[in-house]
Structure 1
Amino acid sequence: MEYVTEKLLTIAAHEIEAQTLWDLKTHALLKAEAVDYVRDSQKQLILEPLIARLMVHFLSHDAITPLGDCKAIVHHLRQLLRQCQQQTASSNCYAADNLLNLLNHLKADLTGVDLSGLTLRQVDLADTPLHQVDLSNTHLKHTRFTESISDIFRISISPNDDLLAMAGLNGAVFLYDLKAGQWTNSWSAHQGWVIAVVFATDFQTLFTGGFAQRIAQWNVVTGQCLQEWQTDSPIWRLALSAHGQWLVSGHETGKAQLWNIHTQLLLRVLNHSGVVRGVAFHPQTHHLATGSSDRQIKLWSCATGECLATFDGHDDAIWDLGFSSSGEYLASASSDGSAMHSPFLHYLLQISVAQAT
């Protein structure tokens, strides 16, 4: 075992110094999801001796690396990380993982580092600040974070763009501060899957719903439940009206329910013939759009509960809906692999003309 470890250290140090990563692409120096004592022993027996060897190398090359010891190593590792981004994900394998684990062990400042496009398979990011780190198009697998996050069903961004809320399989809600670049809160919201989450217009609260057939409103700072009420079927989607007084829930049983959030009074029941997974309020008018596994989008009057129009076009179940900020267009996404947008104001005008005549 000692011989194998020594051989690995020699090869890893040479590849990093020469900037030619071969074995470091096919062998992970650290298993991020291993049990604590195994992961700690890998840090002690592999990462620490490797860093010690690199320090000796860089200290003996001061003329070439005027930054000296740890700073020179960090600079060198970040250069190699940028090289990984210029290669295909399949060719990198564990290269970027090994470089990041070394940087983490050196407690390097990763603020603003660009990790976009990388595939990260065995990285220990627990207790690592990730302020303004670019993870766009990054594939994360077997990567350890400070918080253990379940599979995510739904995300929502607060109206002021400060907070990101995530909800998923284990019934928990996670909050991430987008400006500070850190997790701010998490709590257990429901028994079972939480599939719907939406922020209130006050920025300070959010609503959740799921297969427990329950809607709840939460304080985002304390995680305290402010109010809750029971529905009669599993909930797939929630949406809040622009004036913040109405909440619509899309249900497994093929209906959308319109609620007054202050009184918890059920105002309208709007029917489809399939699961309602798409709900969206128009940002300027009292209109509501719903989409269902019956492949139809329906436009409703919130005031009367009347179905004003039905739109076809998708070949499979509709999973989500959303109005543009101007209210001019309605976008829809389907499991047929398509996304469509419709000129909502044009349809509204046609409806108004028809009603007038």
Structure 2
Amino acid sequence: GHTNRVWSVRFSPDGKTIASGGDDRSAKLWNIATGECSKTIQGYSNVVYRIAFESDRQLLASGHEDQTVKLWDIHTGQHRSLSGHKNRVFDVAFHPIMSILASASGDRTVKLWDWHTGNCLHTFAGHESWVVSVTFSPDGQILASSSYDHTIKLWHVQTGECIQVLRGHTNYVLSIAFSPDGQLLVSGSYGQTIKLWEVSTGDCLGTWEGQDSRIWSVAFSPDGQTIVSGGNDRSIKLWSISDRKSLHKPLRTLEGHEGEILSTSFNQKGDMLLSTSMDKTIKLWDLATDRCIKTLHGHENSVWSGILSQDGCTILSSSADETIKIWDVQAERCIKTLRSPRPYENMNITGVTGLTEAQKNTLKALGSVED
């Protein structure tokens, strides 16, 4: 049968066949009388979920739907793949000191990689469902991971030991971030809530009621005093960590996106904010005025992740359109697009006979070309 979740089933008009579709990117036709699969229609997709940037080496890491982690040289566009996960890779994070990369996957594990050699150093197992977010503490001693199993786990990077399990969310934990001093952790969930945790004890210090439902992104300001969240209500909210009694009152709310907010991050000074959205755009906000000062268009699907360079001149973004884009902020234009090869990349089908127009269009979507 299917090798992943089945999201949809339908009967044929004559009642003799069932069609099913699932996360394994296939549709299957089933004979009701025999229970056998009579046909499998295989699709292809390679969404780029989260990205991470190692500025000293100008190295970009990306997590992909095809179960791989990819490492990119952003100047040449060359990449190499790290394979080992058995489900899509939702998030990646560089260690702040060592040449280590962490990846979070739907196979319920977190992997640590030596990004010099491409070798897998450790596999952290223990979550009971998809692991969707991963981040290192500022000193690099602790790795935090969050999961659809409603928990956050803290791992000792060197030993691989799970040293703390943070419980309290009642739904998927979609996003996590350490405070700049590493003493606090913030988490956002599918169940409307944002929680603040003390890392050393695992105690929950406060809970805020955030967006209507899904909180896709949380982050700390550089001074550690403010939390930003983004979610399904299309707004960006700023919260004071010192005001834990006003559970329903953000400091400020930024509005302008027309889709769910998928990622949020501050610049180094803390005076600007970057956001990405399901509306296919990237926005840069001036926090002195709460105004959107730049909107970048070019992606053809949801923008899962965005990173602002230290000098504020460049933005990196990843999208469900299977691309990573590099943007010139001042010019508001894309200066480079990175895309991993598709199954039939650059295969020339000019003059090929026996193909219908629909089949040709499918091959082109998978990378083939026609003069």
TM tier, smaller: 0.5 to 0.7
- Identify the residue that residue 339 of structure 1 maps to in structure 2: 282
Q: TM-score scaled to structure 1, two decimals?
A: 0.55
- Identify the residue that residue 201 of structure 2 maps to in structure 1: 263
Q: Distance in 1 between matches of 2:107 and 2:287?
A: 37
Which residue type is aligned with residue 196 of structure 1?
S
Which of 284, 293, 310 pairs up with 2:232?
Answer: 293
- Identify the residue that residue 206 of structure 1 maps to in structure 2: 143
Question: Does the alignment pair 1:167 with 2:104?
Answer: yes
1:207-264 CA distance string (max 9 Å, x none): 1111111111112222211111222221000011101111111101111111111222
Which residue type is aligned with residue 198 of structure 1?
T
Quickly say closer, same or farther: Cα 1:326–1:194, change in 2 above 3 A.
same
Which of 215, 218, 229 pairs up with 2:166?
Answer: 229
- Identify the residue that residue 316 of structure 1 maps to in structure 2: 259
Quickly say closer, same or farther: Cα 1:281–1:180, change in 2 above 3 A.
same
CA contact (8 A) 1:283 1:323 kept: yes
Residues matched between the structures, number = 217
Which residue type is aligned with residue 281 of structure 1?
F
CA contact (8 A) 1:185 1:221 kept: no
- Of all paired residues, the percent bearing the same amino acid is 28
Which of 69, 91, 94 pairs up with 1:154?
Answer: 91
1:267-308 CA distance string (max 9 Å, x none): 221222121011010012401111110101111100013511
Which residue type is aligned with residue 257 of structure 1?
K
1:66-86 CA distance string (max 9 Å, x none): xxxxxxxxxxxxxxxxxxxxx
Q: Distance in 1 between matches of 2:135 and 2:188?
A: 13
Q: Distance in 1 between matches of 2:204 and 2:83?
A: 40
For the residue of structure 2 that corresponds to 1:342, the secondary structure is strand
CA contact (8 A) 2:85 2:105 kept: no
Question: Where does the alignment leave 5 or more consecutive residues of structure 1 unmatched?
Answer: 1-120, 122-129, 349-357
CA contact (8 A) 2:96 2:138 kept: yes
Distance apart, 1:313 and its partner CA: 0.6
If asked which structure has higher relative contact order (CA below 8 Å, sep 6+), I would say 2
- Identify the residue that residue 304 of structure 1 maps to in structure 2: 243
Which residue type is aligned with residue 203 of structure 1?
G
- Identify the residue that residue 222 of structure 2 maps to in structure 1: 283
Q: Distance in 2 between matches of 1:315 and 1:161?
A: 39
* Bigger Cα Rg: 1
CA contact (8 A) 2:226 2:239 kept: yes
Q: Which has the higher helix share?
A: 1
Q: Distance in 1 between matches of 2:188 and 2:174?
A: 5
Distance apart, 1:161 and its partner CA: 6.0
CA contact (8 A) 2:264 2:276 kept: yes
Give me the CA root mean square deviation: 2.8
Distance apart, 1:149 and its partner CA: 4.5
- Identify the residue that residue 59 of structure 2 maps to in structure 1: none
1:76-134 CA distance string (max 9 Å, x none): xxxxxxxxxxxxxxxxxxxxxxxxxxxxxxxxxxxxxxxxxxxxx9xxxxxxxx9x995
Which of 113, 133, 153 pairs up with 1:196?
Answer: 133
Which residue type is aligned with residue 249 of structure 1?
S
Q: Distance in 1 between matches of 2:102 and 2:159?
A: 14
Which residue type is aligned with residue 302 of structure 1?
I
Distance apart, 1:180 and its partner CA: 4.7
Which residue type is aligned with residue 286 of structure 2?
P
Question: Map of 1:1-357 to 2, 5 A cutoff?
Answer: 137=77, 147-160=84-97, 162-231=99-168, 232-271=170-209, 272-305=211-244, 306=246, 307-347=250-290
Q: TM-score scaled to structure 2, two decimals?
A: 0.53
Distance apart, 1:159 and its partner CA: 2.1
Distance apart, 1:318 and its partner CA: 0.6
Distance apart, 1:181 and its partner CA: 4.3
Q: Distance in 2 between matches of 1:134 and 1:289?
A: 30
Q: Distance in 2 between matches of 1:139 and 1:335?
A: 26
